[in-house]
Amino acid sequence: MPARTITPTDIGNIVRSARKAAGLRQFELAGAAGVGVRFIVDLEAGKPTAQMGKALQVLRALGCTFDITPPPEPQGKRIS
């Protein structure tokens, strides 16, 4: 399966869709995730400089999962 590159815009679209599917308004999600409304607005807009920790809080509050697969380890070399 080829790797998929996800963009800040993709994350924003996922957050917006999940929020709407949950029947939440932006201020309700902000409260549930412990972030400000402005952060939710920016995250949904795909702001590329959004703080990762806060973005993960929002995803967690929505019940989303986020998986990262590291690249395969090169033969004979170990990544520290």
Give the pLDDT band of residue 60 (cuts 50, 70, 90). Answer: very high
pTM for the model stands at 0.83
Cα distances (angstroms) measured from residue 46 to each of 1, 39, 49: 26, 11, 9
What's the pLDDT at 76? 64
Please state the domain count of the chain.
1
Whether 4 shows a pLDDT value over 90: the answer reads no
Give me the pLDDT at residue 1, please: 58
- Please answer whether residues 69 and 23 qualify as being in contact, where contact means their C-beta atoms are separated by less than 8 angstroms: no
Q: Which domain holds residue 38?
A: 8-61
66 lies in some domain = no
Q: Is residue 49 part of a domain?
A: yes
CATH classification at residue 18: 1.10.260.40
Domain contains 35: yes
| Model pLDDT for residues 5-55, shown as the tens digit of each residue | 899 999 999 999 999 999 999 999 999 999 999 999 999 999 999 999 999
